[in-house]
Structure 1
């Protein structure tokens, strides 16, 4: 990892200026805040891998941001890549126990989705929809496209590392696949990454604080209701591709108290706790 408090060439790309680590720390690392440290590196393989390796020695609220990820990972070990400074690529360390029971930690990627969507609505003016369990969707030319994703991983007994990858300024000719999107293509009023990162981290701190104060209860914290309201998967016919090369097809009717997607199938109502979801019918 190469620190980037003072980037090698601040003027190398005027369209994609570097993050200002000093200003971000000044804005976010305050007494009583969830965020306890914030580092920006020029390039790394994966911010999730970097933090997971050190999670036991880090305080809760450590944040690692990369200007470029060369081996970014998504769910199901998918690769995530984008041009340097074209997005937000960062991970955070959360330690919700012992107050929040381990069985409720599965809500963390969904909570992060709600927090990111809320933060982007305020700072970018973009309506971000959530595809269960962890994709961030924006509308480009009338079509829903994936602009980001979330990856939550256990790190030891007491920590969860949550990573967020978000396409910010990518143009149509830079998209990794034609079905991808970015905030810029969705008509964002701002693509200033400092502003966006501050908004997302403040939103995440608020949602996480409310959830933890409610002992991880998704109803009491308002998380379950808010997630359902912003989840574009609900109300659609979907195919759930499950571990073991099996699949289920049905209508996504709810997200239950454990954060699982509930499908109404021909065989009855079935919850899905893990798998890849394919939207089969537009809303």
Structure 2
């Protein structure tokens, strides 16, 4: 049975019920809020692609959520797939142009990571680490089936989510988030993937998780905009460094063009770049894949 065959009944699947769009709108779309609209679709190719295509007719703060994505994308056009209603797959439309210089917009994916991690800490009781530039990591014990809800895992770090930012033709930014919530071990797309459930989340109810994440994103985005996008004045740079598991590790940066660089990740600079201490000296990395070579 596909997601389109499931009756429109919140309790048709007790284990993975649909999101309650009425409740979400009541909680999030209100006067004075960043969020101006919220739509939930049963399935789509990519919420980012949909929102980018519709951006010209939407106000800032539009939110599009999918119960299932058939063509979800990460960085470098990598695919992102998960069973229907097993995660949070959503995109938001932001228009930071008024008061925030374009050169600071590169902080938006990092800001989103900080916001998601904070929201999940409050609502799921899961410590989510940030891997530069856009991955969300959780710790999954070797025998995740024995982990009790709320128990702190001490196992391996696995990717539970990712963030993708795209510019629109009319000068806006669409930020997409994909997060594995209730996936079981046998449902993971690759062995290095994880989920909130496997990390011992106290709750996998997606409604309060989404509310918490979007409220956290609203707060961080508002503070960042009020500071003119300054990552230091808004305390964003400090918060990202505190939650970034890449810092302090020996890493390999696989750079555009097929080259690579190895060194210790020592800082995230004011432009959001990862700073590596290499044999050739200190080198900032603005784009690329980062491979963690040594655990903290």
- State the TM-score, normalizing by the size of structure 2: 0.93
Deviations 1:30-74 (A, max 9, x none): 110000000000000000000000111110000000000000000
**Contact preservation (8 Å) 2:18, 2:67:** yes
Q: Name the residue aligned to 1:259.
A: 272
SS at match of 2:85: coil
Q: Name the residue aligned to 2:96.
A: 96
Deviation at 1:9, TM superposition (A): 4.2
**Contact preservation (8 Å) 2:10, 2:20:** no
Deviation at 1:138, TM superposition (A): 0.3
**Contact preservation (8 Å) 2:10, 2:19:** no
**Contact preservation (8 Å) 1:135, 1:150:** yes
- 1:153 matches 2:153: no
Deviations 1:148-177 (A, max 9, x none): 000001012420000000000000000000
Q: Name the residue aligned to 2:146.
A: none
Deviation at 1:7, TM superposition (A): 5.6
**Contact preservation (8 Å) 1:261, 1:271:** yes
Q: Equivalent residues in 2 for 1:1-283 (5 A)?
A: 8-141=8-141, 142-283=155-296
> Distance between the aligned counterparts of 1:110 and 1:160, measured in 2?
14
> Distance between the aligned counterparts of 1:63 and 1:97, measured in 2?
18
SS at match of 1:63: strand
**Contact preservation (8 Å) 1:228, 1:254:** yes
Deviations 1:112-131 (A, max 9, x none): 00000000000000000000
Unaligned runs of 5+ in 1: none
**Contact preservation (8 Å) 2:267, 2:275:** yes
Unaligned runs of 5+ in 2: 142-154
**Contact preservation (8 Å) 1:148, 1:166:** yes
RMSD between superposed Cα atoms in Å? 1.1
Deviation at 1:14, TM superposition (A): 1.1
> Distance between the aligned counterparts of 2:237 and 2:179, measured in 1?
23
SS at match of 1:89: strand
> Distance between the aligned counterparts of 2:251 and 2:294, measured in 1?
7
Deviations 1:70-115 (A, max 9, x none): 0000001100000000000000000001210000000000000000
> Distance between the aligned counterparts of 2:249 and 2:213, measured in 1?
28
Structure 1 pair 209/7, CA: closer, same or farther in 2 (3 Å)?
Answer: farther
Equivalent residues, number: 279
